[in-house]
Chain A
Amino acid sequence: KQEVTQIPAALSVPEGENLVLNCSFTDSAIYNLQWFRQDPGKGLTSLLLIQSSQREQTSGRLNASLDKSSGRSTLYIAASQPGDSATYLCAVWATNAGKSTFGDGTTLTVKP
């Protein structure tokens, strides 16, 4: 059974800092890994999707990497802004599953 862990559970940084969010998973046989953002009381917004054959994906100030062999992914946020404050979730789609398994998320607060 795939288990997904996100550390830390919460993170507070001053505006302008570069930061890294971590996601680890127990079963390295995956199809893809997807990073989402969730604002309070809202749905999930897809940020980046990394296929199993890829090592990283970039969108603007966001860069996500994938290392299947170690069961890890990182989401790098450059030059953080208060508007980046949200909960970030990673979801892993294992090859023996018909759906994605989510981590519990990292709640990020960027202070002005």
Chain B
Amino acid sequence: NAGVMQNPRHLVRRRGQEARLRCSPMKGHSHVYWYRQLPEEGLKFMVYLQKENIIDESGMPKERFSAEFPKEGPSILRIQQVVRGDSAAYFCASSPPFKGAGELFFGEGSRLTVL
């Protein structure tokens, strides 16, 4: 049973370009979470998705950031018109179906560098 798969592992973009980060949850997991880790800081929640639904996007910046988890395929975190402050590690976690709360399993992260 493969773990949470994220790609690309490393991504370099110039200011103004778009970044797309992909996350495939563990088999059987229906919940996906995106967290961001800025240099020398902790993990901050961004968004929680289930298939075709955004459940909680309270941690997403209001502009330039969007996320989806389509019926088929991986979850995608999209950052438009990237700025240097977007440079960070973006982690995806998934959990199996749960009542109340789940157990999180994380991918290796995607490290975005904005030049």
Name A residues whose Cβ lies closer than 8 Å to a Cβ of B: 31-32, 34, 36, 41-46, 49, 89, 91, 93, 95, 98-105
Tell me if B55 counts as interface (CB < 8 A to partner A). yes
Tell me if B104 and A98 are in contact (CB < 8 A): no
Tell me if B101 and A32 are in contact (CB < 8 A): yes
Contacts of B101 in A (CB 8 A): 31-32, 93, 95, 100
Residue among A34, A41, A99 with max Cβ neighbours from chain B (10 Å): A99
- B81-115 interface code vs A (CB 8 A; 1 in, 0 out): 00000000001010000001111111111010000
Kindly state the separation between the CA atoms of A99 and B45 in the bound complex, as whole angstroms: 8
Contacts of B104 in A (CB 8 A): 34, 44, 46, 91, 100
Of B42, B48, B103, which is within 8 A of A102 by CB?
B42
Name B residues whose Cβ lies closer than 8 Å to a Cβ of A: 4, 6, 33, 35, 41-45, 48, 55-56, 91, 93, 100-109, 111
Contacts of A49 in B (CB 8 A): 103
Can you report 20 residue pairs joining A to B where beta carbons are below 8 Å apart?
Answer: A32-B103, A36-B106, A41-B111, A43-B4, A43-B108, A44-B91, A44-B104, A45-B106, A46-B104, A91-B43, A93-B102, A98-B55, A98-B56, A99-B33, A100-B33, A100-B45, A100-B101, A101-B45, A102-B42, A103-B42
